[in-house]
Structure 1
Amino acid sequence: MTALAIETAAGGGTVGSTGFAITANGAYGARLVRNGGDGDAWFPERWTLDGPEPYAVPLPGNQPEEPDTGVLPMADGRVLIHRRVADRHTFALLYPTGPATGELPLGAVDAAAGALTLLPPSPDGSCAYALAAGPDDSALWLVAGGAFGPELVARVKGRCSGGVWLDRTGRMLALDRDLDGRTKAVAIDLERGGEVTELLQITEDSDDRLLLADADSGLILIRSNAPGHDRLGWGVLGSTLPVRFPECLRLADAAVTPFAVQPGLVLMPESCQVALRIDAASGSWLGIWRPAGRHLHQLAAPQGWLAGSGLWTREGVLRLPYSTDANPCAVLGVPAPPDPAPAPAPPPVRPAAPKPVPLAQAPLTGRRQPTGDR
């Protein structure tokens, strides 16, 4: 299962929520919520997603959290919390202990490192990383899973953002690096001291960002201005084939952002279902698309959807978490819709008898290559 933590909309059972993140294996989710009956009392909440019915466990600490506190679920059911305390960024693991919340401090990073942002959950589920982006370089910190508290694992030239895992082990991480006035996706090898290699360059002058990647099929979703303005495109990791920019993913007056790819389809990138969040002035709704289908299905999202979050099963069912007054912790399964049937082909026309062409006038070249968006 593949999912990213993306800013979410308000749920029905709470006044608001900041972000909902899901572990790479789909077992747990976590978010920061605010209880409508207690003013600005923010607290972490863990969702268990791999049982017969999803359920949420509140993890309040000794005092309310700040609304910009970061939370991230771990594969063992604990929740990483990132707080800004005076001149430090502190990290701890939270877990339920009966009626109370247990807390295991992990250490701190000096605030002089800059603003730290938690990256999406690592595929191995036991480590967590944070990115501190400065004007000239960026620092990658291991904030959970290390031996001695937070560790600086890589320093990358340029201002970095994003964060997409490229494998199932948590070794290869992609970041979007702004350097010399251009933004390009680069790969960071965490087992080779943060070695940086170029990952995505459509043209020398384009801004090419990586939004999503699936390790099984190699499918990647990108955003680039190589076509002349920002477009959503897709390609295959490590392939020499060009990136394609489907016209169906280009909507007027709406932003389209992918958030989950169907896993398990090894070497079948064109068959992967992709879930997209569509945002417009009228609200947010759901899009489902696959490269081979060339059609964007637009569907109403469930009421209280934690917009921009969800995950695919290997069988092609999209699971969307949502929260309402009646169901404060719930998941809706959406099967992938079938693609429209292709238009019937016109009946064959019997060709006229060919006329001989003098050899001197016979065309030797000129067969046109097929073109078209996918």
Structure 2
Amino acid sequence: MTACAIEGGTAGAAATADPEAEPEPEEPGEPGEPGRPEAPAGADREDGEDWEDAEVYAGAGEIEEAEASPTGAGARPFADAAPPPGRFTLTADGAYAARLTAAPGPPGERAWYPERWTLDGPEPYAVPLPLDQPEEPDSEVAPVADGRVLIRRRVADRQMFSLLYPTGPGTGELLLGAVGCAEMTLLPPSPDGRCAYALAAGEDHASLWRVAGGAFGPEEVARIPGHCSGGVWLDRAGRMLALDRREPGGGPVKAVAVDLGRQGEVTPLLQIAPESNDRLLLADADSGLLLLRSDAPGHDRLGWGVLGSCLPVRFPECLRLPDVAVTPFAVQPGQMLMPESCAVALRIDGAPGSWVGVWRPAGRQLHQFAAPLGWVPGAGYWSRDGVLRLPYANGATPCGVALLDAPEDVEPSSVTGRTSGGKGGGEPSAADAAPAVCKPVPLGQAPLHRAARPD
């Protein structure tokens, strides 16, 4: 396997790697209910075995930075936190990226401004988009498919939205409107490239707003009961959105699918165990591969399943590393109906810093690589042919992309079920697992299958 870098220039002021973009310390997670069992029935199984009672309901890249939690025994619960300044946000096709950055200087004196990266040309380049006044460090930016950058600013108790774009030597701004809300979070860019959404999460309900791409400025498109977080797109049309929801009045967190084509109709998506917290981290529309985090095994573990499949959710042992946090951030696209062959990029955070992992469900082997200097942890995207692209910026390279070829996994032994090197994760793949006894799953009523029907 090889890794190389493509370096590009910066139009205007040079951007440097942002020290404040390092992962923030995790906050205490959501407390469990008193008397809750440590794990569901069957929790005494050895690591690597399947949960036969796990269900993935058919239905329905930037993940919240705080979703990384240490894996293995004694792991702390999941924590929700706002992403730090400097986080990259990429369009669904990887053509553009945006971040909030600043010129070097003392932390209290930095002048923050948006920056757009163009990544689909012969070489990457960055365009700074400063206005007359610097931005607040809690502002959020997201790229749009046409090259503009959406920005959310908090002004008193309102959220202001604008589109920024380069105009010769300056920056143009198109005001979109405001929403009267104290807190709001931009969701990952819609796969259709035209619309942008934001989530206002309350304790009893969450409001989903289309803040760009509509006809009349920001408009509320759905109201979901319960406290919601996360946000993962499940289809290419930008219609099906997965959210992690806690029911009004409390209870475990479960991923649900929100159908924007049906006025925000909510459908269960993940139900692994009655009292487990089941959150969706990533989804690939081509293969149906789902990456999730659940405490059904007794503590938070990374697992995978397939959208629309009645095979049980798997919790690979090779993704359970001591003293580090492992979070998936990109899935290889274009693997139609082949979820086990998809390469998955993972961000690994430990005491030495952050680095990159690559894993395939079929290979059951985690490959680890050093990240390029100046990489914003969790930023990256796959090409269809299995090349991982990692944007980075440092003092020597203001705008660069490191390329990493997905490694080939050693074929598992048909006798032992482990890799020939003896370091396999130990969990069976779908190809060599015994046929599962499947519970009824309402596939025929799943939102994605209904999407083709006339409304």
Smaller-chain TM-score range? 0.7 to 0.9
Aligned to 1:150: 218
- Structure with bigger strand share is 1
**d(CA) in 2 for partners of 1:154, 1:65:** 29
Matching of residue 124 in structure 1 with residue 192 in structure 2: yes
Residue of structure 2 in register with 1:360 after alignment: none
Show structure 2 runs of 5+ residues with no match.
1-60, 67-83, 417-432, 437-455
Contact kept, 8 Å, 1:6 with 1:308, in 2: the verdict is no
Displacement of 1:78 after TM fit?
A: 0.1
Cα distance per residue 1:33-84 (max 9 Å; x no partner)? 0111583200000000000000000000120000000000000000001001
The structure that has the greater radius of gyration is 1
Quick one: which of 88, 98, 103 aligns to 1:35?
Answer: 103
Residue 18 of structure 1 and its aligned partner are, at CA, apart by: 2.5
Within the candidate set 314, 319, 327, 2:384 is matched to 314
Q: Secondary structure at the match of 2:87?
A: strand
2:340 alignment partner, SS class: helix
Q: Report whether the alignment pairs 1:323 with 2:393.
A: yes
Amino acid at match of 1:167: D
Mapped contact 1:141–1:150 kept (Cα < 8 A)? yes
Aligned amino acid, residue 68 of structure 1:
D
**Equivalent runs, 1:266-281 vs 2, <5 Å:** 266-281=336-351
CA–CA separation in structure 2 for the residues paired with 1:245 and 1:164? 20
Whether the 8 Å contact between 2:363 and 2:412 is mirrored in structure 1 is: no
Q: In the alignment, does 2:229 pair up with 1:167?
A: no
Instruction: Report 1 or 2 for greater relative contact order, CA contacts < 8 Å, sequence distance ≥ 6.
Output: 2
Q: Partners in 1 of 2:337 and 2:365 — Cα distance? A: 21
Look up the SS of the partner of 1:135 in the other structure: coil
SS in 2 for 1:270: helix
Cα distance in 1, alignment partners of residues 297 and 65 from structure 2: 28
User: Which residue number in structure 2 is paired with residue 207 of structure 1?
Assistant: 277
Pairwise CA distance, 1:87: 2.5
Number of the residue aligned with 2:407: 337
Give the drift of 1:311.
Answer: 0.2
Mapped pair 1:228 → 2:298? yes
CA distance in 1 between counterparts of 2:155 and 2:340 reads 47
Counterpart of 2:267 in structure 1 is 197
In the alignment, is residue 101 of structure 1 matched against residue 171 of structure 2? yes
Q: Distance in 2 between matches of 1:208 and 1:343?
A: 32
Match among 70, 77, 88 for residue 158 of structure 2 = 88
User: CA contact under 8 A between 1:217 and 1:264: conserved in structure 2?
Assistant: yes
Indicate yes or no: 2:164 matched with 1:60. Answer: no
Q: Calculate the TM-score normalised by the size of structure 2.
A: 0.72
Q: What residue in structure 2 maps to residue 115 of structure 1?
A: 183
Equivalence for 1:244: 314
**Larger mean Cα displacement after TM superposition, 159-168 or 332-341:** 332-341
The residue number in structure 1 matching 2:16 is none
Deviations 1:277-316 (A, max 9, x none): 0011221110000000000001111111111110000000
Match of 1:183 in 2: 253
The answer as to whether partners of 1:5 and 1:21 remain within 8 angstroms in 2 is: no
Partner residue, 1:357: none
Amino acid corresponding to residue 131 of structure 1 in structure 2: L
Structure 1 residue 17 displacement after superposition: 4.4
Q: CA deviation at 1:86?
A: 2.1
SS at match of 2:337: coil
Choose which of 333, 339, 342 in structure 2 pairs with 1:263.
333
Superposed CA deviations along residues 173-197 of structure 1, whole A, max 9, x for unmatched, are 0000012321000000001000000
Gaps of 5+ in 1: 9-15, 347-368
Aligned counterpart, 1:140? 208
Percent of aligned pairs sharing the same letter: 69
Shift of 1:228: 1.1
2:312 counterpart letter in structure 1: P
After TM superposition, give the deviation of residue 110 of structure 1 in Å: 0.6
* Number of aligned residue pairs: 339
Q: Offset at 1:117?
A: 0.3
- Of residues 282, 287, 295 in structure 1, which corresponds to 2:357? 287
Task: Name the SS of the counterpart of 1:191 in structure 2.
Answer: helix
**Paired residues of 2:288 and 2:339 also in contact (CA < 8 A):** yes
User: 2 CA distance for matches of 1:59 and 1:248?
Assistant: 42
3-state SS in 1 of match to 2:318? helix
TM-score w.r.t. length of structure 1: 0.87
Distance 2:233 2:402 in 1: 26
Alignment-mate amino acid for residue 142 of structure 1: R
Q: Is the 8 A contact 1:72 1:81 kept in 2?
A: yes
What secondary structure does 1:36 align onto?
Answer: coil
Aligned partner of 1:309: which letter?
A
1:65-117 deviation line (CA, Å, top 9, x unaligned): 00000000000000001001123110000000001000000000012xx4100
